[in-house]
Structure 1
Amino acid sequence: MGISINHISKSYKHVKALQDISFDVKPNELFGLIGPDGAGKTTLFRILTTLLIANEGNATIAGYDVIHDFKEIRKHVGYMPGKFSLYQDLTIEENLKFFATIFGTTIDENYDLIKDIYVQIEPFKNRRAGKLSGGMKQKLALCCALIHKPKVLFLDEPTTGVDPVSRKEFWDMLKRLQQKNITILVSTPYMDEAALCDRIALIQDGEILQIDTPETIVKQYPKTIYNVNASNMYQLIMSLKAYPHQYSVYPFGEFVHYTDTRDGFNPDELKQYLQAQNLSNITIEKTQATIEDSFMEFAK
Structure 2
Amino acid sequence: MEFDIQTFSLGKSFGEIVAVHDLNLAVERGTIFGLVGPDGAGKTTTMRMLCSLISPDRGKGSIRNLDIVKDSEEIKKYIGYMPQKFSLYGDLTVMENLVFYAEIYEVPRKVMKEKIDYLLVFSNLKEHTKKLADQLSGGMKQKLALSCNLIHTPEYLFLDEPTIGVDPVARRELWKILFDLRAQGVTIFVSTPYMDEAERCDVIGLMNQGKIINQNPPANMINGFQKTILSVFADDPHQGKAFAPTLPYVEDAYLMGEEIHVVLEDDRNDQNKIFDDFVKQGIKVKEIKKIKPALEDIFVNLVRHEQENQDQK
Give 1:52's aligned residue.
54
Give 1:63's aligned residue.
65
Matched residue SS, 1:36:
coil
- TM-score normalised over the length of structure 1: 0.95
- Per-residue deviation at 1:7? 1.3
Q: Which moved more, 1:86-95 or 1:283-292?
A: 86-95
Give 1:236's aligned residue.
240
Matched residue SS, 1:153:
strand
- TM-score normalised over the length of structure 2: 0.91
Supply the AA of the counterpart residue of 1:108: K
Structure 1 distance, partners of 2:170, 2:55, is 34
Q: Which moved more, 1:175-184 or 1:240-249?
A: 240-249
Q: Deviations over 1:144-175 (max 9, x none)?
A: 11011001000010011111111111111100
Q: Deviations over 1:169-212 (max 9, x none)?
A: 11111000011111110110001111111111111000010111
Give 1:27's aligned residue.
29
Match of 1:224 among 224, 228, 246: 228
Structure 2 distance, partners of 1:24, 1:173, is 23
Match of 1:43 among 39, 42, 45: 45
8 Å CA contact 1:271, 1:282 repeated in 2 = no
Q: Report whether the alignment pairs 1:169 with 2:173.
A: yes
Structure 2 distance, partners of 1:111, 1:239, is 59
Question: Which runs of no fewer than 5 residues in structure 1 stay unpaired?
Answer: none
Supply the AA of the counterpart residue of 1:37: D
Question: Which runs of no fewer than 5 residues in structure 2 stay unpaired?
Answer: 305-313
Q: Deviations over 1:89-141 (max 9, x none)?
A: 211111111111101115424347625433x1221222111221111111001
Q: Report whether the alignment pairs 1:209 with 2:213.
A: yes
Aligned length: 299
Structure 2 distance, partners of 1:240, 1:41, is 33
Give 2:309's aligned residue.
none
Q: Deviations over 1:58-97 (max 9, x none)?
A: 1111222111211111111000111111112211111111
Kindly, what percent of the aligned residue pairs are identical?
39
- Per-residue deviation at 1:280? 2.5
- Per-residue deviation at 1:3? 1.0
Matched residue SS, 1:143:
helix
Give 2:126's aligned residue.
122
Give 2:308's aligned residue.
none
RMSD value over aligned CA atoms? 1.6
Q: Which moved more, 1:147-156 or 1:126-135?
A: 126-135
Q: Indicate how the Cα distance of structure 1 residues 279 and 152 shifts in structure 2: closer, same or farther if over 3 A, else same.
A: same
Supply the AA of the counterpart residue of 1:47: M
Alignment of structure 1 residues 1-300 onto 2, 5 Å: 2-105=4-107, 107-111=112-116, 114-118=119-123, 120-300=124-304
Matched residue SS, 2:225:
coil
8 Å CA contact 1:62, 1:152 repeated in 2 = no
- Per-residue deviation at 1:262? 4.4
Structure 2 distance, partners of 1:290, 1:122, is 38
Q: Which moved more, 1:274-283 or 1:214-223?
A: 274-283
Structure 1 distance, partners of 2:85, 2:122, is 19
